[in-house]
């Protein structure tokens, strides 16, 4: 009885400040809330694509080619009834519904963005920590990274994609490789500064072994900048994927992506700009949301550069 | 630079697959492939191949294009003018817009000017180059019909037409570059604005403009020049896309065509050339540091 009383009294007291704290936090980090909210909506859209009033994005219908946005058409069903279909974003030159393609296209962009960001961050973290901690390895690894970085990212990705069969996996791989050096450089620079800290020396003096030292003292220090960098890599990966698909060397047109919808719309752009307009807007908004989120995360995690860059 | 050459070579060597098999075609026998491999020197040790390859590249011999059936070096020189004009026009535009914007944002820190410039900057590197390109074409060339939609005219065929067709692509390409440079300019200028010598300059009665130019910008220049150099990577990537959007027959377009045609010698040569340009420009940037900041010595 006594225990329940103390709980019921204790709960409301911190609850009120907690609420204002959330509000304050949201106010202070407006960009995280804004970027996160837009991004959440796009992720939801990608996941819920089948129930958002879409039709099969790959379904070709020669009868309704090149409809303008918001065009309606009546379809006669098998049982004689009629339904009206509205193409909010029109149809493309093969009669496919642009709205469905754009909604499904979010999947490719997000998968590529997240996969590239996570994998390149993981690989970069391992290489960066090792290069920063093992002096012998440092020189060789960093020269290789410098070499990779001296090739502009999009060119390297184009070159790599051209060597293998185009597809989701090869595109992801082709974008990861140019992104890894950026992570390695960042992680290495953090590791180099951390290893001279007194508390690391203290840990060594206390007999901590290398794996424990890295896991307990060194790696946690790299997490904050790494999270920020990962967000920006995600944004850049989405752009590179769209660019590759747009140039026709990325994900083949059976899978709709914002880039290849635009690529297919190029031929008739003057007459039917909607094929390029809608995926372009979604692409730009998504990348913008990721970048805003990244800026917000940097402000939160790295107070030194806050409001400067 | 030597390291870069080794890395590029290894990258090409490891990823090209077997060029001899590609040249020989589907119906070739094992002997045919071996013969071609011998002719191309692919059966020699890697180190020896590298020396031979490097020797040829230094002499400007990139081999022959599979697709265009011409020496790659000739192909590249033909496509050089459009790309070079586009790049120079873009850099000029970008620098002349970005630095004033960045300085203004820093000077009016926290006001709407600052927020406006920073907002534009985030927008600038979030919208992909080809989306900007099509938005520009739609608005300026089709809707307003001020400028030609696509195409390129050589400088020799008239200066007016040359610039008329270069304006839209250059602006398109300049936007992302402006975004990055303006951001760094603002950060760098902000740092210098707080310094003692700026307060002194103001205290002795100098008006704002000379203070900003002579005392602030001069000292804030090193990071700005650095990012102009590093931004060349963005520019090169952008050239590939912009030339496709605007149908400009330059090196970027050549890259895409070569990739689509699986024309490896051309792809290799173009990537190597672009990387070389990127590295050289950054070397040049490093050298300008000594001029901008006398404390830096090599």
Is ipTM strictly over 0.85?
Answer: no
- Residue A182 confidence (pLDDT): 87
Q: Is A148 on the interface with B (CB under 8 A)?
A: yes
Per-residue model confidence as pLDDT tens digits over A75-133:
666 666 666 666 666 666 666 777 777 888 888 888 888 999 999 999 999 898 888 87
Q: Which pair of tokens denotes residue A198? A: 């007194």
What's the pTM? 0.79
Whose CA is closest to A159, among A266, A265, A247?
A247
State the pLDDT at residue A44: 82
Write out chain B residues lying below 8 Å of A155, CB-based: 236-237, 240, 255, 270-271, 274-275
pLDDT recorded at residue A306: 45
Q: For residue range A211-261, what is the model confidence (pLDDT) as tens digits?
A: 787 887 788 888 888 888 898 899 889 988 888 888 888 788 778 888 888
Tell me which of A23-32, A107-116, A167-176, A185-194 is least confident: A23-32
Dihedral of CA A224/A239/A40/B124: which sign? positive
**Burial (CB count within 10 angstroms: exposed 0-12, middle 13-18, buried 19+), residue A278:** buried
When CB atoms are compared, the residue of B6, B142, B260 closest to A249 is: B260
pLDDT band at A307 (very low <50, low <70, confident <90, very high): very low
> For residue range B65-91, what is the model confidence (pLDDT) as tens digits?
666 667 777 778 778 888 888 888 888
The pLDDT tens digits of the residues spanning A9-54 come to 444 445 556 677 777 777 777 778 888 888 888 888 777 767 666 6
- From chain A, the residues in CB contact with B262 under 8 A are 162
Which of chain A's residues have a Cβ under 8 Å away from the Cβ of B264?
162
Measure A236 CA to nearest chain B CA, in Å. 9
The tokens for B33 are: 């492939």
Q: Which residue of B has its CA nearest to A235?
A: B126
* A309 Cβ under 8 Å from any chain B Cβ: yes
Question: Is the four-CA dihedral B241, B243, B246, B249 of positive or negative sign?
Answer: negative
**Residue segments in chain B with a per-residue pLDDT below the cut of 70:** 1-69, 145, 147-162, 164, 205, 264, 296-298
* Residue environment code for B82-93, b if the CB has 16+ CB neighbours within 10 A, otherwise e: bbebbbebbbeb
Residue A267 or residue B133, greater confidence? B133
Q: Which residue from B286, B274, B276, B198 is spatially nearest to B236, judged by alpha carbons? A: B274
List the single residue in A with minimal CA-CA distance to B142. A270
Q: Which of A259, A158, A97 is nearest to B268 (CA)?
A: A158
Query: Distance between CA atoms of A123 and A141, rounded to whole angstroms?
Result: 13
pLDDT of residue A309: 41
**Residue A47 C-alpha from the chain's centroid:** 15
pLDDT at res. A122? 92
* DSSP string over A13-73: HHHHHHHHHHHHHHHHTHHHHHHHHHHHHHHHHHHTGGGSS---TT---GGGTTPPTTEEE
Count of all residues that appear for chain A in the document: 309
CB contact under 8 A, A147 and B3: yes
Pick the residue from chain A with its C-alpha nearest to B273: A151
pLDDT digits (tens, 9 = 90+) for B240-288: 888 888 878 888 888 888 877 777 677 777 877 887 788 788 878 877 8
Contact B174, B93 (CB under 8 A): yes
Task: Check CB contact under 8 Å for A159 and B241.
Answer: no
């Amino acid at each position: 009885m006594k225990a329940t009383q103390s709980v019921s009294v204790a709960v409301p007291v911190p609850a009120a400040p907690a609420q204002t704290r959330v509000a304050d936090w949201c106010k202070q980090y407006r960009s995280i809330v804004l970027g996160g909210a837009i991004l959440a909506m796009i992720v939801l859209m990608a996941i819920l694509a089948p129930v958002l009033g879409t039709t099969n994005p790959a379904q070709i219908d020669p009868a309704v080619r090149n409809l303008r946005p918001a065009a309606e058409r009546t379809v006669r069903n098998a049982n004689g009834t009629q339904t009206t279909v509205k193409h909010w974003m029109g149809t493309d030159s093969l009669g496919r519904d642009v709205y469905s393609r754009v909604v499904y296209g979010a999947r490719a962009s997000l998968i590529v963005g997240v996969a590239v960001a996570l994998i390149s961050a993981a690989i970069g973290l391992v290489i960066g920590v090792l290069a920063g901690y093992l002096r012998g390895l440092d020189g060789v690894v960093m020269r290789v990274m410098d070499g990779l970085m001296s090739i502009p990212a999009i060119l390297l990705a184009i070159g790599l994609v051209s060597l293998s069969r185009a597809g989701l996996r090869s595109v992801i791989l082709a974008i990861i490789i140019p992104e890894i050096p950026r992570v390695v450089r960042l992680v290495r620079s953090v590791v180099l500064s951390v290893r001279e800290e007194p508390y690391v020396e203290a840990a060594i003096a206390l007999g901590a072994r290398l794996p424990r030292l890295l896991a307990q003292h060194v790696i946690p220090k790299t997490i904050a900048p790494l999270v920020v960098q990962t967000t920006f890599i995600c944004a850049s990966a989405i752009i590179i994927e769209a660019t590759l698909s747009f140039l026709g060397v990325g994900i083949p047109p059976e899978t709709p992506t914002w880039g290849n919808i635009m690529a297919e719309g190029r031929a008739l752009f003057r007459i039917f700009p909607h094929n390029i307009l809608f995926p372009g807007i979604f692409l730009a908004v998504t990348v913008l949301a990721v970048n805003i989120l990244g800026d917000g995360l940097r402000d939160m995690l790295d107070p030194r550069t806050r409001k400067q860059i | 630079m030597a390291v870069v050459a080794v890395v590029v070579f290894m990258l090409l060597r490891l990823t090209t697959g077997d060029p001899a098999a590609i040249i020989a075609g589907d119906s070739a026998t094992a002997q045919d492939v071996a013969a071609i491999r011998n002719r191309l020197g692919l059966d020699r040790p890697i180190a020896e191949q590298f020396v031979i390859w490097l020797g040829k590249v230094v002499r400007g011999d990139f081999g022959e294009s599979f697709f265009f059936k011409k020496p790659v070096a000739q192909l590249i020189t033909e496509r050089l003018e459009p790309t070079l004009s586009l790049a120079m026009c873009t850099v000029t535009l970008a620098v002349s817009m970005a630095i004033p914007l960045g300085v203004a944002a820093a000077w009016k820190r926290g006001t709407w000017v600052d927020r406006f410039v920073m907002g534009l900057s985030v927008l600038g590197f979030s919208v992909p180059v080809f989306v900007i390109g099509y938005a520009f074409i739609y608005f300026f060339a089709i809707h307003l019909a001020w400028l030609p939609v696509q195409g390129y005219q050589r400088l020799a065929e008239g200066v007016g037409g040359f610039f008329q067709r270069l304006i839209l692509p250059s602006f398109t390409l300049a936007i992302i570059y402006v975004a990055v440079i303006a951001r760094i300019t603002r950060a760098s200028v902000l740092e210098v604005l707080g310094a003692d010598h700026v307060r002194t300059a103001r205290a002795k009665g100098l008006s704002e403009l000379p203070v900003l130019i002579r005392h602030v910008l001069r000292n804030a220049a090193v990071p700005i020049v650095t990012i102009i150099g590093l931004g060349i990577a963005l520019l090169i990537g952008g050239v590939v896309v912009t030339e496709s959007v605007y149908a400009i027959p330059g090196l970027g377009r050549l890259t895409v065509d070569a990739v689509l045609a699986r024309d490896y010698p051309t792809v290799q040569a173009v990537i190597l050339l672009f990387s070389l340009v990127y590295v050289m420009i950054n070397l040049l940037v490093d050298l300008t540091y000594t001029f901008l900041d006398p404390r830096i010595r090599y």
